[in-house]
Structure 1
Amino acid sequence: MTSHEPLAALLASLAEPFTAESIFDRFQDVVYFIKDAECRYVAANETLMERCGVRRRSEMLGRTAEEVFPPPLGRRFTVQDRAILRSEKPLIGKLERHHYANRSVGWCLTDKYPLSARGGGAAGIVGFSRDLTHPNESGEDYRHIAEAVAFASRRLAEPVNVLQMAQVAELSRYQLDRRMKIAFGLNSGQWLLKQRIDLACRRLTSTDSAIAAIALEVGYADQSAFSRQFRRTTGMTPGEYRRSM
């Protein structure tokens, strides 16, 4: 008997398929879903439904991300899903800025895993996105990195890097990353990226500044490099984001 046979026997004996929706419905800061090989939802928790503006689960199931998310966001998720199905490789810890149909915006760390089919290939995807939380600024770990965080926050237009932050905090890069993950749920590089993209979003929606000028303000010497990173993180080009907001 293989290690999976008892589980397979249990699942086969259930009156209804087990998708874990009822468990993930309890977590308001986690989006959970399962999709089939055609990128259609076959399971979705209530948090995902709420953020997509869907009231009944039946309105979500059988549809793709492009059908439930406003454009161009849905396209981004479908392209991502198809790449995972094709490669059969997971996506782990991807930092993303999500914009939902109910107008809420949030930063998440996303994991997606291919589900292997019996005959080979991928039969679908299971995934979840965890909301980033605000740090406890009174905590001991935050105290050790507060100066480095302030140093980088004041210099987002400059090519500040993680090693400089570590020097300011008088920590090794490993120690800085460890404390940043405890405080922010992100490593130092991810935190820097988040600050720059957040600032860019504010500038795109509150000013008429050219995108090239905003790229410089957030630490990118090259507009095309800024646009590529912005799209990877938000699913939109800077121009699309400005128009949609």
Structure 2
Amino acid sequence: MMHEFLSRLETPFTGEELFDHLPDIVYFIKNRRGEYLVVNRTLAARCGVVDKQDVIGRTASQLLPPPLGDRFSDQDQRVIASGQPLLSQLELHVYATGDVGWCVTTKLPLHEQGGAIMGLVGFSKDLQLPDYEADEYRHVAEAIRHAEEHLSVPPSVGELAEIAGMSRYQLDRRMRRVFGLTTGQWLMKVRIDLARRLLRETDRAMVAIAQEAGYSDQSAFTRQFRKATGLSPREYRLARRSLR
């Protein structure tokens, strides 16, 4: 029924016009080479261009200065090569405009009729702003305050659940309602936020920043930071200063 319905459309439905009206979502369809075929207005704006046609046919590496664009291109090729979707990954995006923001990204491979992967479709949604006046926030406020005051020795999710007086499942459910993240994702985010502020605003050594953000091992800090941002701490510091 769906295929018959779609076959009657005057033009193929790509979702472009729909996503053009969602300013907090970056939307795209790419071919096997990672070149943009369909984008929404938000993506074009965050790439620093006015016309969406300036994005079409180019890869993220061609649109964004290194190493920022390379991160997205590498991610695309992993999805296309493996056929495995990327689901709800928490990421910090640094755009050509200098804007920085946390997003949750999903990418799905697209298959042609014979089964081969022909590209991907995906979106990155800006994290919601928490409602600090909501009842849900009051239930987790004490655990949040404790975590924020002890980032140099960050508590576990289990410890935060105990402070909140609920199970890990209950805490995760409430954190998702308030922040749109699991407790573990939120904890990682606040630690990385602290680290990137110190990288941007100070000249402190990497090892000192790692320790303040709760990483006793600098290599572990670098791995976690790269997973979240696509950049090493040193690359992030250089990239942010180059975009000033």
Is it true that 1:42 corresponds to 2:37 in the alignment?
A: yes
C-alpha displacement at 1:205, in angstroms? 1.3
Deviation above 6 Å: which 4+ runs of structure 1?
Answer: none
The equivalent residue for 1:167 is 162
Distance 2:145 2:179 in 1: 14
The equivalent residue for 1:56 is 51
Is it true that 1:215 corresponds to 2:238 in the alignment?
A: no
The equivalent residue for 2:60 is 65
Aligned to 1:174, the other structure's residue is in SS state: helix
Distance 1:57 1:49 in 2: 5
Is it true that 1:206 corresponds to 2:224 in the alignment?
A: no
The gaps in structure 1 that reach 5 residues or longer are 1-5
C-alpha displacement at 1:207, in angstroms? 1.3
Contact 1:88 1:121 in 2 (8 A): no
C-alpha RMSD over aligned residues:
1.1
Matches within 5 A, 1:24-35: 24-35=19-30
Is it true that 1:78 corresponds to 2:73 in the alignment?
A: yes
> Greater shift after overlay, 204-213 or 187-196?
204-213
The equivalent residue for 1:143 is 138
Distance 2:51 2:12 in 1: 19
Contact 1:157 1:219 in 2 (8 A): yes
C-alpha displacement at 1:174, in angstroms? 0.4
C-alpha displacement at 1:208, in angstroms? 1.3
> Greater shift after overlay, 162-171 or 65-74?
65-74
C-alpha displacement at 1:213, in angstroms? 1.2
Matches within 5 A, 1:122-133: 122-133=117-128
Contact 1:70 1:100 in 2 (8 A): no
Aligned to 1:201, the other structure's residue is in SS state: helix
From 212, 223, 228, give the equivalent of 1:233.
228
From 171, 176, 184, give the equivalent of 1:181.
176
C-alpha displacement at 1:13, in angstroms? 3.5
Show CA shifts across 1:140-165 (max 9, x none): 11000000000000111103111111
Contact 2:147 2:154 in 1 (8 A): no
Show CA shifts across 1:182-207 (max 9, x none): 00000000000000110000111111
Instruction: Tell me the TM-score normalized by structure 1.
Output: 0.95
C-alpha displacement at 1:11, in angstroms? 3.3
Distance 1:81 1:149 in 2: 34
The equivalent residue for 1:91 is 86
Counterpart code for 1:105: V
The gaps in structure 2 that reach 5 residues or longer are none
Aligned residues: 240
